[in-house]
Structures are given as structure tokens and as C-alpha cells.
Amino acid sequence: MRTAVIGGGSWGSAFARYLGSIGLPTRLWVREHDIYQELLRSRENPTFLPGFTFPEGVGFSEDLRETAGSADVIFVAVPSQFCRSAYARMAPALRKGQILVSLTKGFDKRTLMRMSQVMDEVFRPHVLPHLTVLSGPSFAREVAAGYPTALVVASKDPSAAREVQHLISSLTVRAYTSSDVIGVEVAGALKNVIAIASGIVDALEFGLNSRAALITRGLVEITHLGVALGARKETFSGLAGMGDLVLTCTGELSRNHRVGQQLGQGRTLREILAGMKMVAEGVHTTMAARRIARTLGVEMPISEEIYQVLYRGKPVAKVVADLMSRALKPE
């Protein structure tokens, strides 16, 4: 079984390294020429995954179409705002029977579609592969290091989900299957918004009570939006929901949490993003979530306040006061 990973960022690099480590012939496509040259020279990606060498079974490419066309299973780990263009470039090279796995956690900025919806739209006029989604609590460096990790593979096609499940499962990664593609994608995207809020809470040194309350109420509003979009409520209690939310809101490796910390320290969004090499998906997802929630009439107070901080410059002290003084109601 030949695999390909599209995207040479931290998650794409870590996942390609993992696939190679379990003996799967894997090709990693990278966009940046300097990173590609460094991979050829040292078999390391010091920009996005420093300290890890790729196994011999992993090759590298700058040719997106050739990489996608040569694989049986394609894992796409491209930031959400670049996915549509990457899909469009890949589409003519796809073959019938391939499986495509989205590792991206976010929404299409223009259409507000989930990634699997964008894939379906872009690929259908060409050849529509078997579409699946992979999510769950998984920091890139810990997967690369071989720490035990549990993930969920979601697809409308049960056989495709099972094939990916068996393909990637090992003594360090355990994969579960789900048919709730909507729930898995919504949970994976929106947890990044709550992680920004968690970073603010930590910067303000509010303590563990505040963090626990934020995670719990954050899960409530994520679930409400997901169910309104057609997801199953129970999905949000699983790996893609509560599991990924807890990880991203508490882990020091979370980019979105770091964005929140810096906001809580008084830095502006422009200043924060100017100093980042990696994409913090929650910044873009906050705007998308707000638009979706308003369209559906779903109340998302935490996400709304993060939008106000990111895009309206609202002081974080005022955010806390406004959230704590909202009208009282049953849980």
C-alpha cells in the first residue's frame, strides 16, 4: 500500500514520519523549496519538525500531482485556507479507487464548507475518491516521538474508514471508526477557538477552576453548533470532541493556546501572527464559526467573545466580565 502526505508542516511531516516508521512506503509533498532541499540533504525538517529524522521509506517531492497520483491512500495536511487550491491542483491526477484522508481542522473561509464538502465539490467533476477524515487528540511532536495516541477515522463509506483504520493502527496509534463526518470535522475545527480562550485564561492566571469551566462550557457550544449542522451529539464526548478539546486547551504544544496566551499578555493579533511560522487554525475558524452560528441562530458566547478580541480589539478583562455577567440559566 503506497501512501502520500500532502503538506510539509508540523502535522504533515509528523504523520509522514509515522507512516514510514510502520513500514509504509510514503512520499511527502512539500510546498517550500528550501524545506524540500533540506529534506533531501539531511532527511529532517528543522523548520516544522526539528529533532526528528525521517525513515528511509519516506521520500520527498515538490510535484503535487505526481505525488497524489502515485499513492493508494493520500493524507492531506494543508491549512484550511489553502485546501481548496491544493485540491484543485490534485484533482486531475486522482484515480478511481484511491482513498483521500483529510487531516485538516477548519472551514473553507469563503464558503464555510467543511473540508470533506470542499473535497467532494472539487473532485466530483474529475474522479471522486473515497473520502475520509482523521481527527482526535494528536500533537505532531508526540506522534513523531511514538507516544501512544488514539484517533478517529470518519467516513460515509464504512469500508474506507475500516481500511484507513487498519492501515494506520499500530502499537503507538490506535484508530477508531465513525460514520459521523460532520461531528468529527466540526469538533476538530471549533476546539481551536476554545483553545485560544484557554490561553487567555492561563495568561491571566485564573487557575484550574476557570479552565475547567471554560472547557466544559466550550464543549457545550461546540456541540450545539455541531448538532444544528446535522452531527450526532455523542460524537462530541469522544476523541474528536472532548479528547481533542482537552488536549488543545491544556497542552503547551498547542499553537492556538499560545495565541491566546499572547493575547492575554496584551499583544495584538497582528503582532502575534507576524511572529509565527505555523498556522493557528483557530484564528480563521473563529470568524467562520461566528458566521455559521449566526446563520443557524446558535448561541456561542465564548466563541463570540474570542471573535471580539481577535477582530475588534476588545480588552480581555471586559470579555471575562461580560461572560460572567450573562443572564443566569439552567445548565
If you write DSSP's letter for every residue of 246-281 in order, what string do you get? HHHHH-TT-HHHHHHHHHHTT--HHHHHHT-SS--H
Q: Give the global pTM.
A: 0.96
Neighbours of 50 (CB within 10 A): 10
Give the burial class of 227: count Cβ atoms within 10 A of its Cβ; 0-12 exposed, 13-18 middle, 19 or more buried: middle
Domains of the chain: 3-179 (3.40.50.720), 182-324 (1.10.1040.10)
Write down the residue that cell numbers 516521538 correspond to: 145
Dihedral of the alpha carbons of 111, 116, 118, 124, in degrees to the nearest 10 = -150
Residues shown for the chain: 331
According to DSSP, the β-strands at 173-178 and 149-154 are parallel
Neighbours of 296 (CB within 10 A): 12
Q: What positions carry a catalytic annotation? A: 191
Quick: pLDDT tens for 109-127: 999 999 999 999 999 999 9
Give the burial class of 295: count Cβ atoms within 10 A of its Cβ; 0-12 exposed, 13-18 middle, 19 or more buried: exposed
Q: Which pLDDT score, from 0 to 100, does residue 152 have?
A: 98
Quick: pLDDT tens for 186-221: 999 999 999 999 999 999 999 999 999 999 999 999
- 3-state class of 212 per DSSP? helix
Q: Which pLDDT score, from 0 to 100, does residue 99 have?
A: 98
According to DSSP, the β-strands at 3-6 and 26-29 are parallel
Q: Which pLDDT score, from 0 to 100, does residue 232 have?
A: 98
Q: What angle do CA 291, 296, 302 make, to 5 degrees?
A: 60
Q: For 184-205, give one letter per residue: b (16+ CB within 10 A) or e.
A: bbbbbbbbbbbbbbbbbbbbbe
Q: For 263-273, give one letter per residue: b (16+ CB within 10 A) or e.
A: bbeeeebeebe
Q: Which residue pairs, CB below 8 angstroms and at least 24 apart, start in 62-66?
A: 62/29, 62/30, 62/31, 62/33, 62/36, 63/29, 64/6, 64/29, 64/89, 64/90, 65/89, 65/90, 65/92, 65/93, 66/93
Average pLDDT, the chain: 96
Q: Which regions in the chain score pLDDT beneath 70?
A: none
